[in-house]
Structure 1
């Protein structure tokens, strides 16, 4: 049989393979020396960054990781995404005539739009996003006729979007969000017939309606115009956008009704019309079966919820909250098989809730609060086994809590306060595996408290109900509880000693019950307690002095009880903002610290109390003193001398014995300690261990104590954090120790506290840090501890801005520059430390977590963090990403601007919730600013940072900026370091204020920041 034509024999195959390999090698080895010279020139212009080490004069550019070449060796792609490069783009780049891809995103390039790129006529993909470019987009942008992808987002571009951009007819992706564009969005964009994604969000456009011509974008899938100053109505022409999948017109000023045909789009998967000002009814014509997410929240929509929503069989998310909708919710909505999120809170809805809700789908969130609903809660909300939250407060609901909620392992939060609900709480609900909070205030619930609750239980509010019985001794197992409010119930018996062992408890209110017996004479923990209210009970006996040792207590109320005896003078050590001991049977003189008019109403109806000063309602103390027989001066002198000699001898003997004992113990125990250093040290473990005394302690927390230890004779100190380790009980503390060692031992950044070494033994572990003179930010902002209360120093705005920038730099490094990235998980003002120059450093990584590989899910076994700083989604899910740090940092920004504490909102709200409420009511931001720093020339910058804090604390994690974006915005509030003569000349020599080694250039009369060219910088937010 003959071989087929051109079929090589087996003997010829190796020769053919060798020939092909040789040809490929020759092709790949070909390159243009001129193009290599151009690339090396780029490297020099960019300061020879270490990330481009492979670019050298001895190798082919086609072998460099950042470069791709065509078959003939021509450079066709440059990609240096997130390479930490700064500088500008030189003209020589135009010599790369075959370049099709240029990606310079996530760097620090500056200057105007690099016009040399316009000569690269074959360019198809251009990404300059996340840089520091300024100026206008050039009108001749349309020279890039082949362009399919254009991303200029997150820069400082200004002016108008040139209409010539509409000539780029091959364009599929256009990203211009997060800039400073001031004009309108040109209707010529409608000429981009191939466009699939249009993102114009977060710009300061002039108020304008969406051009109706946008209806010509038949291939558009994604329109994002959030905070783009959109006015008017949604164009009727949008019914022609047959490919649309995502529409986001959030936070604008749009009006009118939603076009009926909008819901007929066959592929629409997301509709976001968040925080607009629409009016009118929701259209009844809703027939598409492809809608997956509908979000019409935070508008002024009126009318009924259309029954046809129930026809959307693929609907997963229905957000209609914060509108003026009324009427009943159709039962058909409970039959949607794919519904996961149902949020209709803050409307005027009434009638019964859909009884089948949750019975046919894997419901995750059910939020119907602030309406007029009646009847029972749906019985099977957790039938799908995925429910995380039930939020139905402030309605007229009646009946009992569905027993099925007691068998819902995913449930994290139950908020049913302000209804007419009754009966007992299902026993299984208390111990639901992941439950973190129950808020049942203002109902008619009855029954007893359980001995055991869920392991992660942090908040219990059951005030104004009919709970009875004693507070169980098992309350000591509620170790993570932060808030316990049980006012106005029918509890009896004594306050159990076990209640004082809750280390994280901040608020405890048991007023208006029938508790009896004496107050606890020993307090095991309560180191974090700020509010204690035991008023209107039947408590008796004296007030134990131990209550004067609670370090953070601010509000104390023991009024309307049967307490007797004298007020212990130790209470005078507390820095109380409110004190009420009225209507008891107390006797004697009130402590000197309370003997002033500030506490004039704190002691009413205690007839046997007296005061030295003239406090209303208290009698004056009797100052008569019995006369005693005086000793002669000679005898008195002899007695005093003998007593002094005896005292000195005793002290010397005690000191000698203590020193001898410590030296022997230190020598005996030194062998059990192990030192692991991370930096060059000028001390040994002996220096540290010998100084761990109570006199050197400067703080304490849930995991141990902190000491200030001298390490030499020249006034150098270190901070030592001591963590006790019980291998049977404190497994979590052991994990915290290893987490902090793992992270801080390898991290090197000027805005992250330096871990010098660790010293460990079997029962103790010591972390030795650099000592920062000005301690933590919260002590300066909230005037904590005696030194700060008495100090006249106030952090002015420039210093606060520097602190925000420094902390942001530390977090930005953790999120974007560490491999793998690091999540702190406990960002708060007390974990931002300040050195002698008020430079901020991030501290306390005991709760931090190193992320796994990209796209790999990250979960935590517990909700960590501090009350007031915890992101809302963290109560519903254990999935962790950097946005929880962004939320917490946003709370810190709000603290810096307002001076308020993180829990300092109105009742049942945090600072973030309070700030959003004030902003939603359109109150002037100037009303919220800390009065101590309210200066007219900084008001605009303070407003910028306040709004940035709102962005960071957005309820939706996807709406929060990254820390890199946060840092860029903060840096725009500060002019470049150094004197700028041109800026001074062009702007009347604006005053230069030197704070913390930075120079600021402000023109106070115009309240605008100016950049190095003297141009006004308009804030992103």
Structure 2
């Protein structure tokens, strides 16, 4: 009986506690009730997340209360209604009425507009302000310096401009300040040295200039300092060596000069240092590494550092990667005192002026890049497996420097050179006996190729004479296809094709005018570059798209070219042409099938759940599906049409989507046969009349499949990053954005891609690998050298098998590696990202986790030559099989 009484009392106590808790969690303030309702309306939030009749403290997603008042609001991840989606803006004025608000998190929630000044005056209790990836623009308001309780301020990945407000230095409680990936200018405020509790400062990827202000060394709590991708100048202040808690230091991609300060040796807790792509000069002090006992990553590449490599480099117990490539280091490698840790590290000493013989202990290292130096002597087979040794002065090995180059280097320094092990003077790095043995063969080859060259010259002369003689004789076949030239134009203009098969039904002008309400503005979809597009409804109720081509305003040649394309192609990946109307001489009408989901640009953020009118970007499965569909269309044009066809306008506006989000590529008016088509014989190509170089809508200067691949790479980046509009433009801003974004794509670091991934994209671990794979494919497509971009059929194959791209130990990869001397298609394809580039217009070199330079260059057999990497030559020319090996590769895939 007593036990029952205790149980009843406990139940009553628990009931009263729950009632009290419920009472405390109920919103008591009518002012805050009203403020939240207005915020719900101004942001366009769904009733499912913020139900209008429910208590916000208990039932609204992301709202937290204490003692009946709102303390935290998070709209990150919430979706808008259709109305809210149509007019997103920075409309949060009612927050001013939430006097106890401590946290406002809108990360990834679209809030275009500027941060109001009243934030710093009305939200005095704010501790966390998270506006990353919100499309916020304008300047950082100086009033934010009044938020004395603020501990975390995230404004990264927006469109902020202007100078950094010096008042932010007043935020003495601030722990995290992230202003990266904006368009901020000016200098780093000196007041930042007063933020005594700051642990992370990220100002990377802006346009900040000037110097690192004095006093930074006093911020002893700083653990992460990232100032990369700016325009900082002068020398690196030695006082940074006072940052005893520093874990990560990134000063890359600036314009620092001078030598590295010895004081940096005091950074005993430093885990990673990156000072690449600057203008640092001078030597590394001998004791530079002695004080950095916690160093794990050292990147000093692409500077002007010289002198000998400090011997302390081998003594770092936690070292994982050191990259000092592309400097002026000289001398012999310091003797290696092997320990258990250093042998697991990755070393990149390439492109310096190191010399002497190689210590046999290099065979114990994990990976070592010593290419582009002047090492001499012999190396063991074991060493060759772990090291990249091309472009040195080593014996026996292929792809070494010339004898003259090596002799000059050693003689200038008064050093003895072994002449590649030859017994006497020679001009070849190979044994004299081999040269004599092959001399006769060389003479024969010279004679053969000399004769062929003479024949080619004679053929060219004959062709030129024939052209000159027949200049005034019209081509009969051309006459059949061309009409009279318009006034003032010396060139003939094509007529409509006499054969209309394959161009769909014939419509009357009256039918199509009625379908579009006399081509009213209300039915206008857009003004295209080859005609105006209208939405129309035929008499049978079919919705169509009608292109109205006014030949007085648009190019007739483009219009005829599009008709010819439709006659040639037969692939479901292109927008079907349903019919035409050629009644009027100067006005032509083409009728296409209507695509319910429009183009990729308009459907990317379209609602996918019409019932609750949610605002959501395309999910990853749909994005990958779209990428594969577009790649199939381009692969068809490039590899299944004869001659190959080039689209020349690949962008999000040209990728149309049907009701199931299947790709239907449009905008074929700019398409044409590839320049310099290889399907014809030599005489045919010589006889071909020269064509005027015509710039495509996307900036193409010629019809080349490699240009389509480049544009498709930008589309893939749009799918990964969510930044639409990249593929439609090629201005300086876009090029700079590409350069910055590609630096986050590494074949060895999956986590890097999360820094550029669309914040609204929610993926699990497997899908993240697919996102990573697509980013890698995009980078290979964006190689600045057209001849080094992948063929579209290989791009398609990579997108269809994304996990094979990043999982090199897959069975198919292993099979190909065993069955062929070349690596599997995906290893070869993406191995090229380890290559360095000497091109002035290449993407800036990045260092992957294996310590090798990667510039996004992907080799292709279309170049007709070898492009040897300075950092990993063994994968060069394996990027895509040479023509002779393609059949073998595909035969292996079939098995």
With structure 1 as the length reference, what TM-score do the two structures score?
0.46
Q: 2:289 is paired with a residue of what secondary structure?
A: helix
The offset of 1:166, in angstroms, is 1.9
Of 406, 427, 438, 2:381 maps to 427
The offset of 1:344, in angstroms, is 3.8
The offset of 1:811, in angstroms, is 3.0
**Bigger proportion of residues as strand:** 1
Residue 604 in structure 1 maps to residue 450 in structure 2: yes
Residue 613 in structure 1 maps to residue 458 in structure 2: yes
User: What root-mean-square deviation, in Å, do the aligned CA atoms of Structure 1 and Structure 2 show?
Assistant: 5.9
Residue 353 in structure 1 maps to residue 309 in structure 2: yes
Aligned to 1:287: none
**Structure 1's 362 and 137: CA in aligned 2 closer, same or farther, altered over 3 A?**
closer
The offset of 1:902, in angstroms, is 11
Of 127, 135, 138, 2:116 maps to 138
Aligned to 1:538: 438
**Correspondences of 1:410-421 after superposition (within 5 Å):** 411-421=366-376
Distance 1:461 1:315 in 2: 38
Distance 1:318 1:746 in 2: 37
**Correspondences of 1:813-892 after superposition (within 5 Å):** 816-820=761-765, 821-824=767-770, 825=773, 827-828=776-777, 844-849=798-803, 861=809, 864=827, 865-869=829-833, 876-877=849-850
The offset of 1:138, in angstroms, is 1.7
Structure 1: 5+ residue runs without aligned partners?
Answer: 1-7, 90-106, 278-298, 448-459, 467-487, 492-510, 518-534, 541-559, 564-581, 587-602, 621-706, 717-743, 758-768, 852-857, 911-1021
Aligned to 2:201: 223
Aligned to 2:168: 189
Aligned to 1:561: 442
Residue 797 in structure 1 maps to residue 698 in structure 2: yes
**Structure 1's 377 and 53: CA in aligned 2 closer, same or farther, altered over 3 A?**
same
Once the two structures are superposed, residues 139-191 of structure 1 have per-residue CA deviations (whole angstroms, 9 ceiling, x without a partner) of 22221111111233334444433322222111122233344444322332232
The offset of 1:416, in angstroms, is 2.9
Residue 583 in structure 1 maps to residue 538 in structure 2: no
**Structure 1's 378 and 787: CA in aligned 2 closer, same or farther, altered over 3 A?**
same
Distance 2:280 2:672 in 1: 43
Residue 177 in structure 1 maps to residue 127 in structure 2: no
Aligned to 1:401: 358
Distance 1:462 1:774 in 2: 50
The offset of 1:337, in angstroms, is 3.8
Aligned to 2:841: none
Distance 1:359 1:462 in 2: 31
Once the two structures are superposed, residues 32-71 of structure 1 have per-residue CA deviations (whole angstroms, 9 ceiling, x without a partner) of 698899878877877776xx75765797666658245547
Q: 1:234 is paired with a residue of what secondary structure?
A: coil
**Structure 1's 874 and 331: CA in aligned 2 closer, same or farther, altered over 3 A?**
closer
Residue 16 in structure 1 maps to residue 17 in structure 2: no
Aligned to 1:589: none
**Structure 1's 113 and 215: CA in aligned 2 closer, same or farther, altered over 3 A?**
farther
**Structure 1's 337 and 64: CA in aligned 2 closer, same or farther, altered over 3 A?**
same
Distance 1:312 1:611 in 2: 67
**Structure 1's 756 and 363: CA in aligned 2 closer, same or farther, altered over 3 A?**
closer
Distance 1:781 1:221 in 2: 58
**Structure 1's 222 and 901: CA in aligned 2 closer, same or farther, altered over 3 A?**
farther
Q: 1:333 is paired with a residue of what secondary structure?
A: coil
Distance 1:247 1:26 in 2: 49
Distance 1:251 1:212 in 2: 20
Q: 1:358 is paired with a residue of what secondary structure?
A: helix
**Bigger proportion of residues as helix:** 2
**Structure 1's 515 and 150: CA in aligned 2 closer, same or farther, altered over 3 A?**
farther
Of 61, 79, 84, 1:66 maps to 61
* Contact 1:751 1:806 (C-alpha < 8 Å) held by counterparts: no
Aligned to 1:212: 190
Distance 2:42 2:863 in 1: 46
* Contact 2:36 2:94 (C-alpha < 8 Å) held by counterparts: no
The offset of 1:374, in angstroms, is 0.6
* Contact 2:125 2:149 (C-alpha < 8 Å) held by counterparts: yes
**Structure 1's 343 and 193: CA in aligned 2 closer, same or farther, altered over 3 A?**
closer
Of 82, 87, 92, 1:114 maps to 92
Bigger relative contact order, structure 1 or 2 (CA pairs below 8 A, ≥6 apart): 2
* Contact 2:297 2:322 (C-alpha < 8 Å) held by counterparts: yes
**Correspondences of 1:907-922 after superposition (within 5 Å):** 908=869
The offset of 1:797, in angstroms, is 1.7
Of 271, 288, 296, 1:340 maps to 296
Distance 2:150 2:200 in 1: 14
Aligned to 2:320: 364
The offset of 1:18, in angstroms, is 1.3
Q: 1:406 is paired with a residue of what secondary structure?
A: helix
The offset of 1:583, in angstroms, is 0.8
**Structure 1's 795 and 823: CA in aligned 2 closer, same or farther, altered over 3 A?**
farther
Once the two structures are superposed, residues 403-437 of structure 1 have per-residue CA deviations (whole angstroms, 9 ceiling, x without a partner) of 232233xx24423323133222x3323445xxxx7
Of 608, 619, 626, 1:751 maps to 626
Once the two structures are superposed, residues 245-286 of structure 1 have per-residue CA deviations (whole angstroms, 9 ceiling, x without a partner) of 333333444444544544334434444333333xxxxxxxxx
Distance 1:903 1:145 in 2: 66
* Contact 1:374 1:395 (C-alpha < 8 Å) held by counterparts: no
Distance 2:620 2:145 in 1: 53
**Structure 1's 345 and 878: CA in aligned 2 closer, same or farther, altered over 3 A?**
closer
Distance 1:139 1:771 in 2: 46
The offset of 1:906, in angstroms, is 8.7
Q: 2:330 is paired with a residue of what secondary structure?
A: strand
